[in-house]
């Protein structure tokens, strides 16, 4: 990716950024976009740079609140909406086929809270799946997944209010009534130390057996890196080249299911040092399984910890309630960072674990007789204290049994 500059002029090649996807009951899926350069005529083709596929824009609309006016073309600087995209997501760059470009997209944080939902009637099962898929298409910070252990549909988002609105939209727009479970915090797991490990996987049944032997170091990833960093240091074919990708795949798959309570591991580094193989019994599956088993066994030695989302909280309160509110935040394992004045009130800024913030709005009203207000946004993940993580692990193990 080298940088190129585009002038925001009509004479330049076409480029636009899709910033919102809406589902309209009459025309289907509307993609709102802003043209940054060039000109696009209705009925012509554009290139979607994320999928590298070209799409035909059949009609372009100018939006007036909820009415659409069809227009013939759109030029640099204008905002329009188009119908007929096969595959488009918020933040995609559209450009002229001959001159691809990727505009700076928005940054979407990972969800921090999830709740299980189920339809109230059997008739709504299919409708619920379709409705959630449409909502996930519109909103990149909202995710839907099926919990493998319990078979429940879990929706995750940026906070309690976010999910309340989603459930409300299901009822209003899609006419699907749902029952919802208790909100669950989206924990993650991380490694804090390094571990050297040898994993030998052997299985002898009649006929061909299974054999794989790997020696590796498991450690935390470097600051700011996400995903699996896999370093292969094997010399001289102790493990044949064709089995190395299977070892990497084994480690990558096991990151989805952490060693402590099955939460996702965001980042780690594996260095494959040595190993051996059997000319007959070794195959790629054996090496993949050896990596998965090795990860489970060595993650304890690499001091795996549970990470929880920490929220940035700002409370605006009258001075007389300040003491109570700060005391309440301390009870919620919060860390108060600053207290300032703003327009005759006090502003308390703090960082608080999301797990302690359920129902906070209600208790804040009680503490301040309804005069204080708060805003909260996700800040970062941090290690949980051991008493908390033991509770989390025990709860997960209890649920699975």
Residues 264, 231: contact at Cβ < 8 Å? Answer: no
Three-state secondary structure string covering 229-260: EEEECCCCCCCCHHHHHHHHHHHHHHCCCCCC
Report which of residues 395 and 307 the model is more confident about. Answer: 307
Confidence of residue 160 (pLDDT cuts 50, 70, 90): confident
Distance set, CA 276 to CA 104, 216, 281 (Å): 46, 12, 12
Same domain for 285 and 331, yes or no, is no
Cα(170)–Cα(127) distance, integer angstroms? 10
Instruction: Dig out the tokens for 97 from the structure.
Output: 């086929």
Residue 399 lies in a domain: no
Confidence of residue 184 (pLDDT cuts 50, 70, 90): confident
Residue 10 lies in a domain: no
Residue 3 lies in a domain: no
Q: How far is CA 376 from the centre of its chain?
A: 18
Residue with tokens 């007036």: 64
What's 320's DSSP letter? G
Q: For position 331, what pLDDT does the model report?
A: 92
Residue 62 lies in a domain: yes
Q: For position 1, what pLDDT does the model report?
A: 62
Q: Is the predicted pLDDT of residue 16 greater than 90, yes or no?
A: yes
Q: For position 349, what pLDDT does the model report?
A: 94
CA dihedral 246, 247, 253, 259 (to 10 degrees): 160
Element (H, E) at 20: strand 15-24
Q: For position 342, what pLDDT does the model report?
A: 86
Residue 44 lies in a domain: yes
Same domain for 122 and 225, yes or no, is no
Residue 131 lies in a domain: yes
Residue 108 lies in a domain: no
Report which of residues 81 and 104 the model is more confident about. Answer: 81
Which whole number is the average pLDDT over 160-167?
Answer: 90
Q: For position 25, what pLDDT does the model report?
A: 67
Same domain for 296 and 338, yes or no, is no
CATH of the domain at 136: 3.30.70.870
Q: Is the predicted pLDDT of residue 148 greater than 80, yes or no?
A: no
Residue 393 lies in a domain: no
CATH of the domain at 382: 3.30.70.240
CATH of the domain at 219: 3.30.230.10
Which whole number is the average pLDDT over 194-204?
Answer: 88
Q: What is the pLDDT of residues 213-231, one digit of tens each?
A: 889 999 998 887 888 898 8
Cα(195)–Cα(229) distance, integer angstroms? 15
What's the domain count of the chain? Answer: 4
Same domain for 117 and 71, yes or no, is no
Q: Which of 255, 284, 302 is the last residue of a domain?
A: 302
Q: Which domain holds residue 378?
A: 307-386
């Amino acid at each position: 990716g080298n940088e190129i500059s585009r002038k925001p002029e009509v004479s330049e090649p076409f480029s636009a950024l899709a910033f919102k996807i809406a589902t309209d009951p009459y025309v289907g899926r509307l993609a709102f976009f802003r043209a940054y350069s060039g000109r696009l005529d209705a009925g012509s083709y554009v290139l979607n740079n994320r999928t590298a596929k070209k799409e035909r824009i059949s009609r372009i609309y100018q939006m007036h609140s909820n009415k659409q006016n069809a227009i013939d073309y759109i030029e640099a600087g204008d905002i329009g909406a188009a119908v007929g995209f096969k595959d488009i997501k918020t933040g995609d760059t559209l450009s002229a086929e001959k001159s691809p470009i990727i505009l700076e997209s928005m940054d979407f944080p990972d969800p921090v809270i999830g709740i299980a939902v189920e339809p109230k009637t059997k008739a709504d099962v299919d409708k619920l799946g379709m409705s959630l898929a449409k909502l996930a298409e519109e909103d990149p910070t909202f995710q839907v997944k099926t919990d493998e252990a319990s078979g429940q549909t879990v929706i995750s988002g940026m906070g309690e209010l976010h999910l309340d609105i989603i459930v409300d939209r299901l009822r209003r727009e899609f006419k699907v009534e749902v029952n919802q479970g208790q909100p669950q915090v989206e924990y993650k797991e991380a490694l804090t130390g390094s571990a050297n490990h040898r994993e030998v996987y052997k299985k002898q049944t009649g006929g061909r057996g299974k054999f794989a032997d790997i020696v590796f170091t498991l450690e935390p990833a470097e600051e700011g890196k996400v995903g699996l960093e896999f370093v292969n240091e094997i010399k001289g074919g102790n493990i044949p080249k064709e089995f190395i990708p299977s070892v990497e795949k084994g480690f990558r798959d096991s990151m989805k299911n952490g060693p402590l309570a099955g939460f996702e591991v965001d980042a780690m580094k594996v260095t494959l040092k040595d190993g051996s193989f059997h000319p007959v019994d070794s195959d790629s599956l054996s090496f993949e399984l050896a990596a998965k088993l090795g990860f489970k066994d060595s993650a304890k030695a690499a001091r795996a910890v549970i990470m929880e989302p920490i929220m940035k909280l700002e409370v605006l309160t009258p001075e007389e309630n300040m003491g109570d509110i700060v005391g309440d935040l301390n009870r919620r394992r919060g860390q108060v960072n600053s207290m300032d004045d703003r327009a005759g009130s006090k502003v308390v800024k703090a960082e608080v674990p999301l797990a302690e913030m359920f129902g906070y709005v209600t208790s804040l009203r009680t503490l301040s007789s309804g005069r204080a207000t708060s805003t909260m946004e996700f800040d970062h993940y941090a290690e949980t204290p051991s008493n908390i993580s033991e509770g989390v692990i025990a709860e997960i193990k209890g649920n699975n049994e």
